[in-house]
């Protein structure tokens, strides 16, 4: 299986960061390393079996912090993880198995705990269809505007959902 490194941009959210790092530490397929890029007075120690490298950032910009962290990544896959996402212990293993079956993939956005929502009720569904200008069975994202036509994130849906945009919340991307 491919190796991956996680980059977490953070600042001033030690409790959320601690939970996210713990979720990464508990993966059945562990990251090679977790890189925390902190612009605040964050935590300095993270117990666990995976090495956590802490980089101090003078800038409070998640994008710049991610770039700063990406500079030290040397694995095949780079994972940008927000400091407040939660996921189960087999998420990484599932992603890596999926990527093994799809070598053409260059990025993936897996599901996180709490990222799903109930199937839209009839009136909301009608609104999505009206807003998009077409009747479409896949409407149902949480976003407005162009997001209305994205694939749904319903609570009963399983497996990866194709996305043609690059979210930064929990993005796996080929380092090359």
> 0.85 cut: is pTM over it?
no
Whether the predicted pLDDT of 88 surpasses 80: yes
pLDDT at site 121: 77
Query: What is the domain partition of the chain in residue ranges?
Result: 4-114+158-174, 117-156
Q: Does domain 4-114+158-174 have CATH number 3.90.550.10?
A: yes
Q: Count each helix (H run) and each strand (E run) in the chain, helices first.
A: 4, 6
- CA dist 163 and 176 (Å) reads 20
3-state secondary structure of 14: helix
Q: Which of 74, 30, 61 is nearest to 48 (CA)?
A: 30
* Per-residue pLDDT tens over the stretch 104-133: 988 887 765 555 556 667 887 787 777 767
């Amino acid at each position: 299986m491919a190796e991956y490194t996680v980059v977490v941009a953070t600042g001033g959210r030690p409790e959320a960061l601690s939970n996210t790092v713990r979720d990464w530490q508990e993966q059945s397929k562990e990251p090679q390393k977790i890189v925390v890029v902190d612009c605040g007075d964050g935590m300095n120690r993270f117990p666990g079996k995976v090495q956590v490298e802490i980089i101090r950032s003078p800038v409070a910009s998640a994008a710049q912090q991610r770039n700063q962290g990406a500079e030290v990544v040397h694995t095949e896959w780079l994972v940008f993880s927000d400091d407040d996402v939660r996921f189960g212990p087999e998420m990484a293993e599932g992603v890596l198995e999926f990527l093994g079956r799809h070598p053409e993939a260059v990025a993936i956005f897996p599901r996180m705990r709490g990222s799903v929502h109930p199937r839209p009720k009839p009136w909301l569904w009608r609104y999505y269809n009206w807003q998009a200008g077409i009747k479409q069975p896949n409407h149902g994202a949480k976003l407005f505007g162009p997001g209305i036509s994205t694939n749904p994130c319903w609570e009963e849906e399983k497996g990866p959902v194709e996305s043609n945009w690059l979210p930064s919340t929990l993005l796996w991307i080929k380092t090359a």
